[in-house]
Structure 1
Amino acid sequence: MIRIGIDLGGTKIEAAALDADGTFLARLRTPNPGDYDRAIREIRDLIARAEAEAGSVGTIGVGTPGSINPRDGRMRNANATFLNGRTFREDLAEALGRDVRMANDANCLALSEAVDGAAAGAHSAFAVIIGTGVGGGLVIDGRIVEGANGMGGEWGHVPLPWMTAGEFPGPACWCGHHGCLDMLVSGTGLQKDMTARSGQTLTGPEIIAAARAGEAHAVAAFDAYVDRLGRAMAMVVNIVDPDVFVLGGGMSNVTELYAALPAVIDRFSFGGSWSGQIVAARWGDSSGVRGAARLWNE
């Protein structure tokens, strides 16, 4: 049987059909309609099209923003806000007439990379999603660690560790707290830091290009970004000490990060002798949909 994965993103919905070896048999995208009932219909239609193209019926796994509250089965903390408070997994299963497995999108990326990606063969892998926002996911021995309350890996909403006096309390976050990693080590956080330093409004790629050219404000903003991201990863080391960090999201394409981060992690990790791996996601923006399909591997 094939495996169907759905990646429900902020602007698009992607479906993919994988065979047992992980080869794409079909891959389709449609805009996210921004409406609950329409999204369910779009997903149902995408699955039907993917199965028709693959020539077989498959299992269904879905990666979503936010997470499911295990107490009542309702979605929470999704930036696709129309999902929040809804029993999305049950409603989608009813629309499809079959079982659906569902997990946070960062967890799906972590699972994808642990199964046959950049962290294949590792005992433990922590996915670091650094794009418009920040996410995280932990996989141990090929299984997602969601935790007793479904909050495992919610790395973006812990405060930046080892804050300096100038950093405290940090910017207000949409979650209601201050100083969250989502505000500071995302691509958006880099942009805001650059604006605060220079008054310029630049995109992430423009800031990186300026830093590579030696522009002083951009160099300072990038150096601060590396220091903050390294501190955040050192915190994960001190709690989980994963074998591999897998970086995903737009900032994961900045090659300088892979050389610069280890020294910061080593400085802040307990004992100062960290020697783990930091790798880019093998499957890039395909990791989420592949991981969703792999939810039936668990």
Structure 2
Amino acid sequence: MIAAGIDLGGTKIEAQVFAPDWSLAARHRWPTPKDYPVLVAAMAEAIRWCETHGTNLPIGISAAGLVHPETGLALTSNLSATGKPFPADIATAAGRKIAWINDCRALTLSEATLGAARGADPAVGLILGTGVAGGVVTGGRLLPSPAATGGEFGHFPLAAGPVTAHNLPLLTCGCGRLGCVETYLSAPGLSRIAAHLTGQTHAPETVVAGRATTPCFAMAWDIWLDLATEFLVTLCFTLDPEVIVIGGGLSRAPGLTADLTRRLAQATLKTFPIPAIRLAEGGDASGARGAALHALNEAEHA
């Protein structure tokens, strides 16, 4: 075996072990405990399960949230670990070193190495789900992030043009800032746009499904595309990616990549090329596979 990755989510822990050709050799799931000490013990159990498939196996953990680079304390909304030295506690309980990576960065690394952005440099991963975040891979490795916040794209400020044109109210983000991209570009954000137009709450899936037949949903999607396009322009002018890979719940919207490609071509500097916009290929494997790739990279450069 070449490496193992553990994808830690709010409801499940999934460990995956990979063969040298990066095919999946073994996988196992556990429910995610709510109590912090039990959660740490469950992660140590998952690591021990991975170790049964190979000695000295690089093992990485992918999870939502951030780990402070100086204090080592976690900040996460879906685990009972905020304010705790979570990675260090897991390493102590397992009695070994582990590699830690944010789940959005893990997807980016997975897709840039083995998925839809294979060979692209730089490659940007973009998750459009409950929140908005991603990562950047160049030279086969994640872009260094001294503060551990690189890739938190959802906390870019919204572009003033579409906000003004559509008379959208600025909303306070979960991070505490006003007017973050995430407030409208996330899946809940699409619902907020629809509510702004109709005065009623609609699930994002309802808005996406009704675009062709319901005018207010078509308008909500058009506004969302305006905001998303300006956000992609920002990514292009700062990072100049060769490929942008999109994952998360909104990536399942039919025609998304075609809509964004057309809008982006109209919005950027005329005649200059734009990045290819593709859907993530890894699916449920992306988090664990990205964590395993990260662990192997760290082991090789230790």
TM-score of the superposed pair, with normalisation by structure 1:
0.92
- Give the Å deviation of 1:90: 1.4
* Residues 121 and 242, structure 2, Cα contact 8 Å, conserved in 1: yes
Match of residue 126, structure 2, among 125, 128, 133: 128
* 1:68 matched residue in structure 2: 67
Q: After superposition, what is the alpha-carbon deviation per residue over 1:153-189, rounded to whole angstroms, capped at 9, x for unaligned?
A: 1101111123432556621111111111221101111
Preserved CA contact (<8 Å) 2:98 2:295: no
Q: How does 1:9-20 map to 2 (within 5 A)?
A: 9-20=9-20
The 5 Å alignment of 1:41-190 reads: 41-52=41-52, 54=53, 58-76=57-75, 78-80=76-78, 82-163=80-161, 164-165=163-164, 166-167=166-167, 170-190=170-190
Question: Cα–Cα, structure 1 residues 74 and 146, in superposed 2: closer, same or farther, change >3 Å?
Answer: farther
CA deviation string 1:245-267 (max 9, x = no partner): 00000111113111111233234
Residue equivalent to 2:28: 28
Give RMSD over aligned pairs: 2.0
Which deviates more from structure 2 when the two are superposed, residues 120-129 or residues 155-164? 155-164
**2:142 maps to amino acid:** I
Residues of 2 paired with 1:47 and 1:232: CA distance? 38
Q: Distance in 1 between matches of 2:79 and 2:47?
A: 23
Q: Deviations over 1:27-49 (max 9, x none)?
A: 22222222321111112222333
Residue 55 of structure 1 deviates from its aligned partner by 6.3
Residue of structure 2 equivalent to 1:197: 197
1:261 aligns with 2:260: yes
CA–CA separation in structure 1 for the residues paired with 2:183 and 2:28: 32
The SS at the match of 1:29 is strand
The answer to which of 103-112 and 270-279 deviates more is 270-279
Counterpart AA for 1:284: G
Q: Distance in 1 between matches of 2:232 and 2:169?
A: 19
Question: How many residues in Structure 1 have an aligned counterpart in Structure 2?
Answer: 295
Structure-2 separation of matches of 1:191 and 1:9: 24
SS at match of 1:197: helix
Corresponding residue SS for 1:58? coil
For structure 2, list consecutive stretches of 5 or more residues without a partner in the other structure. 298-302
- The answer to whether the Cα contact below 8 Å between 2:60 and 2:292 also exists between their aligned partners in 1 is yes
1:3 corresponding residue in structure 2: 3
Deviation at 1:241, TM superposition (A): 0.7
